[in-house]
Amino acid sequence: MSSGFVDKARITIRSGNGGNGAVAFHREKYVASGGPDGGDGGCGGDIVFVPDENMTTLLDFKYKRKYVAENGEDGQGKRCSGKDGKTLYLKVPKGTVIRDYESGSIMHDMSDGNNWTAAKGGRGGWGNIHFATPTRQTPRFAKPGLPGESFDIVLELKLLADIGLIGFPNVGKSTFLSVVSKAHPKIANYHFTTLFPNLGVVYVNEGNSFVMADIPGIIEGAADGAGLGTDFLRHIERCRLFVHIIDVSGSEGRDPVDDMRMINEELRKHDEKLLERPQIIVANKADLLEENDPQIDKLRSEAEKAGYPFFICSAAAHIGVKPVVDKCYEMLADIPVPEPYEPDYVPKLPTSGSVDDLIITEEDGVWSIEGDWIRNLIARVNFSDYESRMFFDRMLRESGVFSRLEEMGVKDGDTVCIYDLTFDYKE
C-alpha cells in the first residue's frame, strides 16, 4: 500500500489532569487574621477532534500514536486560580469514524461536520478558601485536581464520495476516473494497479460537480478477506450511487454477466444495505468488440432485469463517457446524503480500585473521601442531571461508604468533601 494513504490508525489519547487547589493564608501588614486565600487549580485541557475537508488520509497518525493534552496549573495564594491546560485539537478527514479499541463500538462519526470532544480534561481542585466557615476560619487543606480521561481508540476512514466506482481489477475504473475528472490515478494493464482509493471532482457544468471515488478492485471472496479483502469495501459505504464498471470484452477471460453478479454478491456479504443503493452498469472496453456483439446485449438484459441503467463506453477512447456523467448527476439529485453513524459506545462503569481502599479523614468537621474507586465514579457523573445524582447517591449507599462515615462519627449537617464535590451530610 502506498505510504501516502492510511485509512486506519490506533492511537491513545489522554486529556490533561486538573491542577491542585492551594492552601494559603492572606498575609498583609496591619491586617490581622487575613484568613484563607488559596486559589483553585486549573482544569486540564480537553482533546477535541476537528473534521477537515482538505484531508483524505490518516497519515498524520501513522507514526505518532500518543496524544496528551496539557495539565491544569495548581492554584496559588491571593485567591489566584491556576491556569487551565490548553485544549489539544486533532484534525482528521471528515469521513473518519472514531471507535473504542477494546469493544469496537462507535464513539463518534466525524462526517457530521462538527468538532467533538473525545476526552474531557480533569476538573481543578478547590483551594482552601472554599472551606472557611464561621466555626472553621483556618482550613489547612485543599483538594487535588481530578485526572483526565484516557482512551485507546481506532480512527477509521470511510471516504466521503458521492459516487463509488466498483468492479473487478483491470476493468478500467482508474481510466474512467482520469477521463471524467482531473484525478491522476495510476493506470497499468495488470491487476491491483490501484492499491488505495483515488478521489476526483467531476465538473458537470458551471457551479455543479460531484465527488467520485475509484475503489480498488474487488474480487470474488473479498468480503471474506480475499485479495485486498475488506480494507477498501468500507470506503463505498457512504457512496450514494455506484457506477459498476464491467469489462464487456471479456479480455480477462471472465463472463461480464458473472462479473456483475459476483461483485454484487460481495457487496451483499459485506453489508446487505449496499444492494439497496442505486447502481449504474457501464459496459467498458466496448471498442474491443464488434458493434452488435451478443455479449453487450446479454449484459444489457441482465442489467435491465435488475433495474439498473445501462451504458456502453470506452473510457480509454473517450467514447460514451459523458452520458454516464450526465446520468450520475441526474440521479444524485434524488438520492439523499447518508446519515452519520449513530454512536453505540457505552462508557465503562468505574472498576479501578476498591471501596475498601478509600481513605476517609476528618478535619474541623469536614469529612474527606479519596481513592481511585470514588474518583473514577465522580468523574463519570453528571451532577446537573437528577437521575445521575440519584445514581451517585445509590452507589455510595450500596457500596457502604455512608455506613463507614456513620461508624466513624459523622453527624447530621457535617460537610462531606469528595475531591471538588462538597455537600452536607443528611442522616
Please state the rounded mean pLDDT for residues 264-284.
Answer: 90
Strand 96-100 versus strand 150-157 pairing type: antiparallel
C-alpha cell, 202: 467531476
Nearest alpha-carbon partner for 235 in 52, 90, 335, 93 = 93
Q: What average pLDDT score do residues 172-187 get?
A: 78
CB 38 within 8 A of CB 22: yes
Higher pLDDT, 1 or 400: 400
**Burial status of residue 31 (CB atoms within 10 A of its CB: 0-12, 13-18, 19 or more):** exposed
> Which of 50, 53, 56 minimizes the C-alpha distance to 7?
56
Q: What is the pLDDT of residues 70-124, one digit of tens each?
A: 999 999 988 899 999 999 999 999 989 999 999 999 999 999 899 999 999 998 9
Burial of 194 (0-12, 13-18, 19+ CB in 10 A): buried
pLDDT band at 240 (very low <50, low <70, confident <90, very high): very high
| Rounded distance between C-alpha atoms, residue 209 and residue 102, angstroms | 40
Q: Tell me the whole-structure pTM to 2 decimals.
A: 0.69
In the chain, what are the domains?
A: 1-158 (2.70.210.12), 163-332 (3.40.50.300), 352-427 (3.30.300.350)
Share of the chain above pLDDT 70, in %: 87
Q: Are 11 and 155 within 8 A, CB to CB?
A: yes
Q: Cell triple for residue 35?
A: 484568613
* pLDDT reported for residue 222: 43
> What is the pLDDT confidence band of residue 313, given thresholds at 50, 70 and 90?
very high
Three-state SS across 310-377? EEECECCCCECHHHHHHHHHHHHCCCCCCCCCCCCCCCCCCCCCCHHHCEEEEECCEEEEECHHHHHH
Q: b/e for 372-383, b at 16 or more Cβ within 10 A?
A: ebbbbbbbebee
pLDDT at 67: 97
Assigned C-alpha cell, 368: 474527606
- Residue of 315, 9, 93 lying closest to 185 (CA atoms): 315
